[in-house]
């Protein structure tokens, strides 16, 4: 019954997470007239406190906050591994992303190296935050040496460190929600329970003959050796999945950028739908029989009872089982890719594999009689639970397709990507008033403004005589930053009105005004242009 309780707990974890994501669509953001530039809103300092320890100290200006899960620390020496210890943050109901952890106050993050720190040390600090006014800053990165602080190192966009951006940046939603926002041991415990859940699915049953045929052949020397062999066998599986977790976490920044592309979002969503259908038993997902037979034949030729051969067989077993457990495994890799934490990525997949291998170790010692007599109905129920979770994840993954990318019904915004394009658009719009909207996919207040204000019929009627322009700065290119500087802005959302001659008038509107306030601003703009 412990197993059933574990599955129920895992279901609640994913259920609460998905519920939080869907409930995050309704909230409001406030407005503030004069936001600070990011280098003034957030100041970073790197201090070495010991032979192997560093502290990254961040000052946060009043009215601003940093996201707890948007920190990354990358040494210039790629061989140097750092363990990151983030203190608990304050829970905040984000307008578009639900419950998140933030630091609205100074925070110190402990960095611990596994070996003495080199004398020549430089670390790239990545972080992202917002202003309570509703302004979302692009992700910042700065390279510091111990003892240095910003603005000595000039913060730049995270995308600048990745080269030309493919499509856009993926800031929050945070990688860790709910249970995943806790400590590393708690997260590993959740992955271990998930592994136990996978262990009792039909996917793992083909491994039982392998365990019996290889491990038990060398277990004639006693139970202790049997335990050692089964442990080595499970390590072969576990380390294979660990490598996958490390690769997912190491590619975190690139993965975060790539996943914003519509075709990638759609592909992943359809993938999860297909995997859910596989869980429901509509079709079977496994290696071709010829491949499985070849691997099993090789396994039978391996000498049983030897640690090296048993370890190799564990690695091969991971390949046999991999396609069958692809749905939950892909979900775990997607989560780890967003975290960007190598320690978390490797250890979480290791814990998952240990959970999968624990029943196999028991079977290896006690024999197949130790296998729980789960009915077909119960096994089918387990697959249904995982299938429902995957359908929920498919819906969440596809959410940006209709939240971020869909045009506002009734309004036709013309895109402008640079100052030159804006000038040409203003020239062609002579004789009509113009509204310029600064927007980004990662800007929570921009989404709120679209959803709650621009869709209002009264607002759309008032905007009928305007030429509508939109500067989508999601990719945060040099041209985008130059356009922001032209109007003294540091990020979206922001609005600028132009008269019939293409001249700006009034003040730049910073933040996301509600229907009443925005309607008043539009009426004022109309009055100004008619004078």
Distance CA 73, CA 352 (A): 25
236 contacts 356 by C-beta, under 8 angstroms: no
- Residue carrying structure tokens 């809103």: 41
DSSP character for 506?
S
For residues 411 and 100, the answer to whether their CB atoms sit within 8 Å is no
Least Cα distance to 236 among 171, 322, 318, 326 occurs for 318
**Quick one: pLDDT at residue 25?**
27
d(CA 286, CA 403) in angstroms, rounded, equals 35
The pLDDT, as a whole number, for residue 12 is: 42
pLDDT attached to residue 169: 33
In contact, 337 and 181? CB cutoff 8 Å: no
* Domains of the chain, start order: 2-13+183-403 (no CATH), 38-162 (2.60.40.1250), 414-530 (3.40.30.10)
In order along its 531 residues, the chain shows pLDDT tens digits of: 443 443 344 344 334 333 333 333 233 333 343 567 888 889 999 999 889 999 999 999 888 999 888 898 989 888 888 988 888 888 887 655 567 889 998 999 999 998 999 988 999 998 988 888 767 777 788 899 998 888 644 444 333 333 333 333 333 333 333 334 445 677 778 778 877 777 765 556 556 655 655 555 555 555 666 677 778 888 888 888 777 666 655 554 444 444 445 666 677 678 768 767 877 777 665 555 665 566 556 655 555 446 777 787 777 777 655 545 554 555 565 555 545 556 766 787 788 888 888 877 776 666 544 445 555 666 677 667 767 876 876 776 566 566 554 566 778 899 999 999 999 999 999 888 999 999 887 676 787 788 889 989 999 999 988 999 999 988 778 898 889 888 877 678 889 999 888 888 777 888 788 898 898 888 888 776 655
Please give the backbone phi and psi of residue 521, each rounded to the nearest 5 degrees, phi first. Answer: -65, -40
Note whether 517 and 509 are within 8 A (CB). no
Q: CA neighbours within 13 Å on the CB side: how many for 106?
A: 8
What tokens were used for 452? 């709650």
| % helix, strand, coil for the chain, step of 5 | 50, 15, 30
> In this predicted structure, what is the pLDDT of residue 160?
37
List phi, psi (to 5°) of 515.
Answer: -60, -45
Q: How far apart are alpha carbons 179 and 325 in whole angstroms?
A: 22
pLDDT score recorded for residue 172: 33
What is the Cα gyration radius of the chain?
27
Do residues 169 and 256 lie in contact, with contact meaning Cβ atoms separated by under 8 Å?
yes
pLDDT of 163: 36
């Amino acid at each position: 019954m412990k197993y059933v309780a574990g599955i129920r707990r895992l279901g609640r974890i994913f259920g609460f997470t998905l519920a939080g994501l869907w409930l995050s669509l309704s909230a409001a953001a406030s407005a503030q007239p004069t936001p600070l530039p990011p280098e003034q809103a957030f100041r970073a300092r790197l201090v070495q406190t010991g032979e192997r320890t560093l502290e990254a100290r961040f000052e946060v200006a009043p009215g601003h906050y940093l996201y707890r899960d948007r920190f990354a620390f990358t040494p210039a020496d790629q061989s140097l591994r750092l363990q990151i210890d983030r203190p608990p943050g304050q829970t905040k109901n984000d307008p578009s992303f639900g419950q998140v952890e933030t630091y609205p106050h100074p925070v110190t993050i402990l960095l611990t190296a596994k070996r003495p720190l080199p004398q020549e040390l430089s670390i790239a600090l990545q972080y992202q935050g917002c202003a309570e006014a509703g302004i979302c800053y692009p992700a910042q990165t700065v390279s510091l040496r111990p003892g240095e602080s910003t603005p000595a190192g000039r913060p730049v966009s995270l995308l600048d460190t990745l080269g030309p951006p493919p499509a856009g940046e993926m800031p929050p939603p945070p990688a860790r929600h709910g249970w995943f926002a806790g400590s590393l041991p708690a997260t590993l415990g959740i992955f271990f329970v998930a592994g136990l859940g996978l262990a009792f699915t039909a996917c793992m049953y083909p491994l039982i003959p392998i365990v019996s045929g290889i491990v038990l052949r060398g277990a004639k020397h006693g139970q202790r050796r049997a335990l050692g062999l089964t442990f080595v066998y499970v390590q072969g599986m576990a380390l294979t999945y660990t490598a996958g977790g490390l690769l997912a976490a190491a590619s975190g920044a690139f993965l975060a950028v790539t996943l914003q592309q519509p075709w990638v979002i759609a592909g992943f969503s359809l993938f999860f739908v297909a995997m859910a259908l596989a869980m429901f038993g509509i079709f079977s997902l496994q290696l071709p029989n010829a491949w499985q037979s070849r691997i099993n034949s090789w396994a039978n030729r391996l000498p049983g009872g030897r640690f090296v051969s048993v370890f190799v067989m564990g690695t091969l077993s991971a390949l046999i089982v991999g396609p069958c457990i692809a749905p939950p495994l892909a979900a775990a890799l997607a989560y780890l890719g967003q975290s960007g934490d190598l320690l978390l990525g490797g250890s979480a997949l290791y814990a998952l594999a240990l959970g999968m291998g624990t029943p196999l170790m028991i079977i290896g010692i006690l024999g197949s009689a130790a296998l729980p007599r789960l009915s077909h109905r119960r096994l089918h129920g387990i697959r249904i639970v995982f299938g429902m979770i995957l359908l929920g994840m498919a819906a969440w993954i596809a959410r940006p397709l209709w939240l971020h990318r869909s045009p506002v019904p009734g309004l036709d915004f013309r895109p402008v990507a640079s100052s030159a394009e804006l000038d040409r658009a203003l020239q062609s719009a002579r004789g009509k008033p113009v509204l310029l909207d600064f927007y980004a996919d990662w800007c929570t207040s921009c989404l709120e403004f679209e959803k709650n204000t621009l869709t209002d019929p009264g607002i759309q009627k008032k905007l009928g005589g305007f030429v509508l322009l939109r500067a989508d700065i999601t990719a945060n290119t040099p041209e985008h930053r130059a356009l922001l500087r032209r109007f003294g802005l540091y990020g979206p959302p922001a609005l600028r009105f132009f008269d019939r001659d293409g001249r700006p008038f009034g003040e730049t509107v910073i933040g996301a005004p509600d229907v009443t306030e925005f309607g008043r601003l539009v009426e004022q703009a109309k009055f100004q242009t008619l004078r």
